[in-house]
Amino acid sequence: MNPAARLTAAAAIGLGALASATAQPAQQPNIIFILTDDLGYGDLGVFYQNQRRADNNPGRPWHRTPNIDRMAAEGARFTSQYVAAPVCVASRASLMQGVHQGHATVRNNQFDKALEENHTLGTVLRQAGYSTAAIGKWGLQGTGNGPDWTSHPLNRGFDYYYGYIRHIDGHEHYPVETIYFKKKARQRGPLIVWENRNDVTAGLDKCYTTDLFTARAKKWIVEQKQNAPSKPFFLYLAYDTPHAVLELPAQAYPAGGGLHGGMQWLGTPGRAITTASGTPDSWIHPEYKDKPWTEVYKRHATSVRRIDDAVGDLLQLLKDLNIDDNTLVVFTSDNGPAAESYLSEDYKPAFFGTYGPHDGIKRDCLEGGLRVPTITRWPAKIPANRVIAAPTAFWDWMPTFADASGLTPPARTDGVSLLPILSNKGAPPSRAFYFEYVNKSKTPDYPDFEPARRGRLRGEMQAIRIGDMMGVRYDIKSHADDFEIYNVVTDPKETQNLAAGQPALQAEMKARVLQMRVASAPAPRPYDNEFAPAIDAPAPLADGLAWKFYPGQFPWVPALDGMAPADSGMVPRPDTKPAKQHVAGAISFTGYLQIPADGEYTFHLLARNGATLRIHDATVVDADYGYQGDTEKTGAMKLKAGLHPFRLVCRNAKDRTAPRLDVSWSAPGLPKQPIPAGAFKSDK
C-alpha cells in the first residue's frame, strides 16, 4: 500500500483514537505565574533561610517567608530550576517565548529590546481560550516612549496590561514620589504606570509597587470570575522587587487577605490602594526592626517579606473565589540575587547568603546566578510537599502551560512539559541545558565563594548542563577554551573542577554548545564562526528520511515529542506525498543530512502551512508564527563535513489546496538548489 492510501486508512482510525491536538481537558486550570525580580535561591525560608534559622548562629542572620513556605508545603518545590540567563531582560525574554538563549533574539543586556513577533505565553494560552493579563514589569517593548511600542504586551498575546513598561522605571518602587530617581526622571522623563496604552500614573500617590501590582492583580482576577466565570485565565504577575532601590512600604500589610481583606484596589485618586497613606519608604517589618543589622538588610528582608504577604493574599483570594483547587500557581525569580541597593549603604547578598548553597549572584553563569527558587501549587493535580530535584528550565513553562490547557506546544520551544513530573506520573527526558551571557564586571569576592572565582572577570560566559555535570566557561577568548566541569548534584557550590578527568565530556560539551544554538548579530560571541561538528555515523544507514504523520487540528507547527503517529514510512527526501489526502495534521521527517564540505549552509524552506527545521538541536528555519504560506524563509548554520541530525516538521491543513513543501540549500561555491536525495540518510 502506498503512503497516500495508507494515510487514508490510518487517519480514519487515528483521528478517533488519538487525542485531538486542540482537545481541551475537562476543566482547564487557571494559571498564575508570579515572577520576582532579583530574588535569590536562598532568599526563601524553605530553600535556605530556614536552615540558617535552625543554625541559630548570630553570624548567619536569616529572615522568614511563611506564606511562600506554606505554598511549598501544599505543592511542589523545584530545587534545580534554571533561568535562561543571569539577568532580567534575557531571562524574561526566554521565559516568554519558550526558548533558551541560543535561540532568543533578546540576549545579554538588551534592555527594552522588542520581543520578536512569535509565540509567547500569552499567544499560546489565548489560543487555548484563556483571558490573558500581564501585570507588573515588562521591559521587552522596543524603543521609543510609547504607547505604540512594537512589542507592547497587548501586541504579544495579552488582553490586558497594567504596570511599568520601560526597564528603567522598574528601579524605583514609588512611581509618583520617585524618591531615589528624581534626577533620572528629569533626564529621561517621569516614571509611568500604564494601563493598556494609557498613562495612569496620576493619582497613584504613595503606592508601593508590590502593593500596587498585587491590588491590581486581585481586582483583575475578581473581574474575570464575575464577567466570565467559566473562562480560564492566565495572569503573568511580574513584581519589580526586591530589585534595585531597596525601598520600604508606607505601612503594614493589611490584615486578612483574599476577597475582603488584604490589599484592595480602591481606585480613588490619591488613595488608589489600601496602603496608599502614611509615609512612603518608612515601614520596616516588626520582626526585623530591632535586629542588630544595618538598615539596608532590614530593608531587604522587609521587601522579601512584603512579597510573601502578597503571595499569601493572592492564594487566599483563590480560596475565597472557590477556584483554588483548579488554579496552577507558579512562584519564581528571574535570576540570582543582586549586589545593589541604590542607597548610601551597599547591599551584599552574602549577609543573608541569598545565593543559597551556591557560588555566584546575578550576572554569574554559576549556580547562584542561574538556579532560582521555584514553587508550584495546583491542589487538583500536584501532590503536596513534593521536592523535584530533576533539572528544569524557564523554557519548560510554555510547553507545560500548553499541555495544561489542552494544546500541543509549538515546535519552536526548547522545553518540555513538566506536567508528568508535577503530577508524579513521569520524569522529563534526558536533555542538555544551554546558557550564554556576557558582562564586563567581576564575580564578588565574598569570603564564602571559592578563592579562584573571587573577583574573577566574567566577560563572555557559557554554560551547559549534561546529566549531573555542568560545564562553565568564563572570559572566553576562543572556542578552544576548556570548560570547568562540576557535578552540581553532589557539589552544588562547584568546588571540585572535574575537567582534568573528563576529556570525553569536555569534547562533548564543546560540540554540543555549537549544535544547540544559532548566532545573533547583535550579541556576537567568540565562538560564532566555529563549525558545528558532525556526529559519528551510526551503522548501517538507509537512504532517505523517516516520516511520521500525526493527525490533529494543530493551530501551529507542533512539537511532536512523545506523541504516537498514525502512520509512518520512508521517503527519499522531504515532500508532501504523505499528506495528499488533505487530512489535518503534522508530518515529521527525521534522519541525517550529509554535508559535503565544511561551510556555512543556508537552508531555504517553503511550505504551504508552515514548517520548522532543526539541525542537531538548533532551530535553523522557523516558518511558523505569522508565516505567509508559499513564501521562502531561510536560515544559516556553519557545519562541518559529515552527518548532522535533521528534523523537519510541517503542518498540514484540512482544505482543498494541494500541499507544498520545498527544501533547498546553498553555500559558498554551491548555488541554491533542492537538497538532493543522496544527502539524506536514516537509521535502518
pLDDT digit string, tens, across residues 499-524: 999 999 999 999 999 999 999 999 99
- Supply the pLDDT for residue 656: 57
Residue type at 23 in one-letter notation: A
At 553, the pLDDT band (50, 70, 90 cuts) reads very high
- Supply the pLDDT for residue 427: 86
Number of neighbours of residue 617 by Cβ within 10 angstroms: 18
The whole-angstrom separation of Cα 642 and Cα 623 is 26
- Supply the pLDDT for residue 579: 62
Segment holding 601, helix H or strand E: strand 599-607
Distances, alpha carbon 221 to alpha carbons 54, 86, 506, in Å:
38, 31, 49
- Rounded mean pLDDT, 366-387: 98
pLDDT digits 0-9 by tens, 464-484 = 999 999 999 999 999 999 999
- Supply the pLDDT for residue 428: 84
Segment holding 618, helix H or strand E: strand 618-623
Work out the end-to-end distance of the chain between its first and last CA atoms, rounded to an integer number of angstroms: 20
* Percentage above 70 pLDDT, the chain: 94
The whole-angstrom separation of Cα 646 and Cα 666 is 16
Partners of 33 in the beta sheet? Answer: 236, 330
- Rounded mean pLDDT, 624-652: 96
Question: Residue 144 has which C-alpha cell?
Answer: 521609543
Which DSSP state fits 554? Answer: -
Cβ pair 623, 118 in contact under 8 A? no
The whole-angstrom separation of Cα 369 and Cα 349 is 12
pLDDT at 654 over 80: no
Coil vs helix vs strand at 650 = strand
**Range with the poorest average pLDDT among 367-376, 378-387, 464-473, 658-667:** 658-667
Coil vs helix vs strand at 517 = coil
Helix extents (H) in 487-581: 503-515
- Supply the pLDDT for residue 3: 36
**Structural domains for the chain:** 32-423 (3.40.720.10), 433-515 (3.30.1120.10), 535-683 (2.60.120.1560)
pLDDT at 13 over 90: no
The whole-angstrom separation of Cα 68 and Cα 550 is 42
Partners of 376 in the beta sheet? Answer: 76, 330
pLDDT digits 0-9 by tens, 564-614 = 999 999 999 998 776 655 688 999 999 999 999 999 999 999 999 999 999
How high does pLDDT run on average in the chain?
Answer: 94
pLDDT digits 0-9 by tens, 177-234 = 999 987 666 667 799 999 999 999 999 999 999 999 999 999 999 999 999 999 999 9
Q: In sequence order, which residues have a C-beta less than 8 Å from that of residue 404 and are 6 or more positions away?
A: 25, 28, 29, 31, 328, 419
pLDDT at 22 over 60: no
Q: In sequence order, which residues have a C-beta less than 8 Å from that of residue 14 and are 6 or more positions away?
A: 551, 566, 567
Nearest in space to 609 (alpha carbons), one of 573, 588, 585: 585
- Supply the pLDDT for residue 576: 75
pTM > 0.85: yes or no: yes
Phi and psi angles of residue 36, each rounded to the nearest 5 degrees, phi first: -95, 170
pLDDT at 488 over 60: yes
Cβ pair 334, 322 in contact under 8 A? no
pLDDT at 381 over 70: yes
Coil vs helix vs strand at 550 = strand
- Supply the pLDDT for residue 8: 34
Beta strand 327-333 pairing with 371-377: antiparallel
Question: Residue 218 has which C-alpha cell?
Answer: 486581585
Question: Taking the CA of residue 524 as centre, how many other CA atoms within 13 Å lie in the half-sphere pointing to its CB?
Answer: 5
Distances, alpha carbon 550 to alpha carbons 491, 590, 653, in Å:
43, 14, 12
